[in-house]
Amino acid sequence: MGGIGKTTLAKKVYDHFPIRYHFDIFVWVTISQEFQYRNVLLEALHCVSKKNPKEYDEMYDNELADLVQKSLKGPRYLVVVDDIWSTDVWDSISQIFPNRNNGSRVLLTTRETDVAIYANTSNPHKMNLLDLDNSWKLLRDKVFGLEHDHPPELEEIGKKIAEKCQGLPLIISVKSLLVIQINA
Ligand SMILES: Nc1ncnc2c1ncn2[C@@H]1O[C@H](COP(=O)(O)OP(=O)(O)O)[C@@H](O)[C@H]1O
Ligand SMILES: [Mg+2]
Protein backbone atom coordinates (compact mmCIF):
# COMPACT_ATOMS: atom_id res chain seq x y z
CA MET A 1 0.00 0.00 0.00
CA GLY A 2 1.27 3.51 -0.75
CA GLY A 3 2.16 5.51 2.36
CA ILE A 4 2.53 2.53 4.66
CA GLY A 5 6.23 3.22 5.23
CA LYS A 6 8.15 1.04 2.76
CA THR A 7 10.60 3.75 1.67
CA THR A 8 11.06 4.88 5.26
CA LEU A 9 11.93 1.36 6.40
CA ALA A 10 14.24 0.75 3.43
CA LYS A 11 16.06 4.03 4.17
CA LYS A 12 16.49 3.02 7.81
CA VAL A 13 18.02 -0.27 6.72
CA TYR A 14 20.20 1.49 4.13
CA ASP A 15 21.49 3.98 6.70
CA HIS A 16 21.81 1.58 9.63
CA PHE A 17 25.46 1.48 10.63
CA PRO A 18 25.78 -2.26 11.42
CA ILE A 19 24.27 -2.98 7.99
CA ARG A 20 26.51 -0.50 6.17
CA TYR A 21 29.47 -2.16 7.79
CA HIS A 22 28.82 -5.32 5.75
CA PHE A 23 28.90 -3.60 2.37
CA ASP A 24 31.47 -1.66 0.36
CA ILE A 25 29.29 0.18 -2.09
CA PHE A 26 25.75 1.55 -1.91
CA VAL A 27 23.20 2.26 -4.60
CA TRP A 28 19.71 3.69 -4.22
CA VAL A 29 17.40 3.89 -7.21
CA THR A 30 13.80 5.03 -7.12
CA ILE A 31 11.52 3.67 -9.79
CA SER A 32 8.87 6.15 -10.77
CA GLN A 33 5.65 5.17 -12.45
CA GLU A 34 6.98 6.61 -15.69
CA PHE A 35 9.82 4.09 -15.60
CA GLN A 36 12.84 4.99 -17.71
CA TYR A 37 15.66 2.51 -17.92
CA ARG A 38 18.19 5.26 -18.62
CA ASN A 39 17.20 7.21 -15.51
CA VAL A 40 17.74 4.13 -13.37
CA LEU A 41 21.23 3.75 -14.85
CA LEU A 42 22.02 7.43 -14.25
CA GLU A 43 20.78 7.24 -10.68
CA ALA A 44 22.91 4.16 -10.05
CA LEU A 45 25.97 5.82 -11.60
CA HIS A 46 25.41 8.87 -9.45
CA CYS A 47 25.83 6.59 -6.41
CA VAL A 48 28.93 4.72 -7.59
CA SER A 49 30.94 7.22 -9.58
CA LYS A 50 32.30 10.70 -9.00
CA LYS A 51 32.26 11.52 -12.71
CA ASN A 52 30.51 14.61 -13.95
CA PRO A 53 27.03 13.41 -15.09
CA LYS A 54 27.52 15.42 -18.31
CA GLU A 55 30.00 12.75 -19.41
CA TYR A 56 27.13 10.29 -19.72
CA ASP A 57 25.13 12.46 -22.12
CA GLU A 58 26.88 11.05 -25.17
CA MET A 59 26.75 7.43 -24.07
CA TYR A 60 24.27 4.73 -25.07
CA ASP A 61 22.21 2.90 -22.48
CA ASN A 62 24.19 -0.32 -22.88
CA GLU A 63 27.43 1.57 -22.22
CA LEU A 64 25.97 3.07 -19.06
CA ALA A 65 24.73 -0.37 -17.97
CA ASP A 66 28.24 -1.68 -18.55
CA LEU A 67 29.68 1.01 -16.30
CA VAL A 68 27.24 0.19 -13.50
CA GLN A 69 27.91 -3.53 -13.80
CA LYS A 70 31.67 -3.01 -13.77
CA SER A 71 31.57 -0.88 -10.65
CA LEU A 72 29.47 -3.49 -8.85
CA LYS A 73 31.57 -6.46 -9.90
CA GLY A 74 34.30 -6.34 -7.30
CA PRO A 75 32.91 -4.95 -4.08
CA ARG A 76 30.08 -6.19 -1.95
CA TYR A 77 27.12 -4.00 -2.82
CA LEU A 78 23.83 -3.05 -1.28
CA VAL A 79 21.33 -1.86 -3.86
CA VAL A 80 17.91 -0.52 -2.93
CA VAL A 81 15.32 -0.51 -5.71
CA ASP A 82 12.52 1.56 -4.26
CA ASP A 83 8.91 1.27 -5.36
CA ILE A 84 9.07 -1.15 -8.24
CA TRP A 85 5.71 -1.55 -9.88
CA SER A 86 5.83 -4.50 -12.19
CA THR A 87 7.64 -7.72 -13.00
CA ASP A 88 8.46 -6.29 -16.45
CA VAL A 89 10.37 -3.45 -14.83
CA TRP A 90 12.23 -5.93 -12.64
CA ASP A 91 13.11 -7.98 -15.73
CA SER A 92 14.58 -4.96 -17.45
CA ILE A 93 16.77 -3.83 -14.56
CA SER A 94 17.71 -6.98 -12.65
CA GLN A 95 20.60 -7.88 -14.96
CA ILE A 96 22.29 -4.57 -14.12
CA PHE A 97 23.09 -6.00 -10.71
CA PRO A 98 25.49 -8.92 -11.15
CA ASN A 99 25.08 -11.86 -8.81
CA ARG A 100 28.57 -12.39 -7.45
CA ASN A 101 27.64 -14.74 -4.65
CA ASN A 102 29.71 -12.55 -2.36
CA GLY A 103 27.03 -11.41 0.07
CA SER A 104 25.85 -8.52 -2.07
CA ARG A 105 22.16 -7.76 -1.72
CA VAL A 106 19.36 -6.09 -3.64
CA LEU A 107 16.58 -4.83 -1.42
CA LEU A 108 13.43 -3.88 -3.23
CA THR A 109 10.21 -2.30 -2.11
CA THR A 110 6.94 -2.77 -3.92
CA ARG A 111 3.22 -2.47 -3.44
CA GLU A 112 2.70 -5.69 -5.35
CA THR A 113 3.20 -9.02 -3.60
CA ASP A 114 3.58 -10.81 -6.93
CA VAL A 115 6.53 -8.55 -7.82
CA ALA A 116 8.22 -9.38 -4.51
CA ILE A 117 7.75 -13.10 -5.07
CA TYR A 118 8.77 -12.90 -8.74
CA ALA A 119 12.01 -11.14 -7.80
CA ASN A 120 12.94 -14.27 -5.89
CA THR A 121 12.42 -13.05 -2.37
CA SER A 122 11.86 -16.20 -0.41
CA ASN A 123 10.26 -14.38 2.45
CA PRO A 124 9.04 -10.88 1.64
CA HIS A 125 8.48 -8.62 4.62
CA LYS A 126 4.88 -7.51 4.61
CA MET A 127 4.26 -4.09 6.14
CA ASN A 128 1.38 -3.73 8.54
CA LEU A 129 -0.83 -0.76 9.22
CA LEU A 130 -0.17 0.93 12.56
CA ASP A 131 -2.48 0.07 15.42
CA LEU A 132 -4.29 2.88 17.20
CA ASP A 133 -1.68 3.19 19.93
CA ASN A 134 1.21 3.56 17.48
CA SER A 135 -0.86 5.85 15.23
CA TRP A 136 -1.44 8.18 18.17
CA LYS A 137 2.24 8.03 19.19
CA LEU A 138 3.33 8.92 15.65
CA LEU A 139 0.83 11.79 15.41
CA ARG A 140 1.84 13.08 18.85
CA ASP A 141 5.57 12.93 18.04
CA LYS A 142 5.08 14.64 14.68
CA VAL A 143 2.97 17.46 16.19
CA PHE A 144 4.80 18.07 19.46
CA GLY A 145 8.24 16.68 18.70
CA LEU A 146 9.98 13.82 20.44
CA GLU A 147 11.41 16.02 23.17
CA HIS A 148 8.17 17.69 24.24
CA ASP A 149 5.25 16.32 26.26
CA HIS A 150 1.83 16.75 24.71
CA PRO A 151 -0.78 18.82 26.56
CA PRO A 152 -2.91 16.16 28.33
CA GLU A 153 -6.17 17.93 27.42
CA LEU A 154 -5.42 17.26 23.72
CA GLU A 155 -4.98 13.53 24.14
CA GLU A 156 -8.61 12.59 23.60
CA ILE A 157 -9.07 14.61 20.41
CA GLY A 158 -5.59 13.55 19.27
CA LYS A 159 -6.52 9.90 19.56
CA LYS A 160 -9.72 10.55 17.61
CA ILE A 161 -7.72 12.17 14.81
CA ALA A 162 -5.25 9.28 14.88
CA GLU A 163 -8.10 6.79 14.59
CA LYS A 164 -9.30 8.47 11.40
CA CYS A 165 -5.91 7.94 9.77
CA GLN A 166 -6.62 4.22 9.32
CA GLY A 167 -3.12 3.24 10.44
CA LEU A 168 -1.39 4.81 7.44
CA PRO A 169 1.76 6.77 8.38
CA LEU A 170 1.38 8.97 5.29
CA ILE A 171 -2.08 10.17 6.38
CA ILE A 172 -0.78 10.74 9.92
CA SER A 173 2.10 12.83 8.55
CA VAL A 174 -0.25 14.94 6.45
CA LYS A 175 -2.74 15.34 9.30
CA SER A 176 0.06 16.36 11.67
CA LEU A 177 1.01 19.18 9.29
CA LEU A 178 -2.60 20.37 9.23
CA VAL A 179 -2.77 20.32 13.03
CA ILE A 180 0.47 22.29 13.23
CA GLN A 181 -0.86 24.86 10.72
CA ILE A 182 -4.12 25.27 12.61
CA ASN A 183 -2.17 25.76 15.83
CA ALA A 184 0.15 28.38 14.31
N1 LIG B 1 7.31 4.01 11.09
C2 LIG B 1 7.20 5.31 10.76
N3 LIG B 1 7.41 6.24 11.70
C4 LIG B 1 7.29 7.53 11.38
N5 LIG B 1 6.92 8.04 10.19
C6 LIG B 1 6.71 7.15 9.23
C7 LIG B 1 6.84 5.74 9.47
N8 LIG B 1 6.56 5.11 8.32
C9 LIG B 1 6.27 6.07 7.43
N10 LIG B 1 6.36 7.30 7.97
C11 LIG B 1 6.06 8.57 7.28
O12 LIG B 1 4.92 8.31 6.45
C13 LIG B 1 5.10 8.87 5.17
C14 LIG B 1 4.97 7.81 4.10
O15 LIG B 1 5.99 6.84 4.24
P16 LIG B 1 6.74 6.20 3.01
O17 LIG B 1 7.90 5.44 3.57
O18 LIG B 1 7.03 7.24 1.98
O19 LIG B 1 5.63 5.20 2.46
P20 LIG B 1 5.67 4.27 1.18
O21 LIG B 1 7.07 4.22 0.68
O22 LIG B 1 5.16 2.94 1.65
O23 LIG B 1 4.73 4.89 0.19
C24 LIG B 1 6.44 9.59 5.20
O25 LIG B 1 6.19 10.96 5.44
C26 LIG B 1 7.19 8.99 6.36
O27 LIG B 1 8.02 9.95 6.95
MG1 LIG C 1 7.84 4.82 -1.19
The whole-number pLDDT of residue 177 equals 85
Counting from 1 in the atom list of ligand 1, the atom nearest the Cα of 11 is 17
Q: Phi-psi category of 25—alpha, beta or left, where left has phi over 0 and alpha has psi -120 to 50?
A: beta
DSSP helix/strand/coil, 124? coil
Per-residue pLDDT of the chain (184 residues; tens, 9 = 90+): 889 999 999 999 999 999 999 999 999 999 988 889 999 999 999 999 888 888 899 999 999 999 999 999 889 999 999 999 999 999 999 989 888 788 999 999 999 999 999 987 678 999 999 999 999 999 999 988 887 788 888 889 989 999 999 999 999 999 888 877 776 6
**Which residue among 8, 11, 172 has the greatest number of ligand 1 atoms within 8 angstroms of its CB, and so is best to mutate?**
8
The whole-number pLDDT of residue 101 equals 85
Query: Measured in angstroms, how far is the CA atom of residue 177 from the centroid of ligand 2?
Result: 19
Question: Domains in the chain, ordered, with CATH?
Answer: 6-118 (3.40.50.300), 132-183 (no CATH)
Query: Measured in angstroms, how far is the CA atom of residue 49 from the centroid of ligand 1?
Result: 29
Query: Measured in angstroms, how far is the CA atom of residue 9 from the centroid of ligand 2?
Result: 9
CB 7 near ligand 1, within 6 Å? yes
CB 134 near ligand 1, within 6 Å? no
The whole-number pLDDT of residue 80 equals 97
Sign of CA dihedral 54, 59, 63, 65: positive
The whole-number pLDDT of residue 110 equals 95
The whole-number pLDDT of residue 149 equals 80
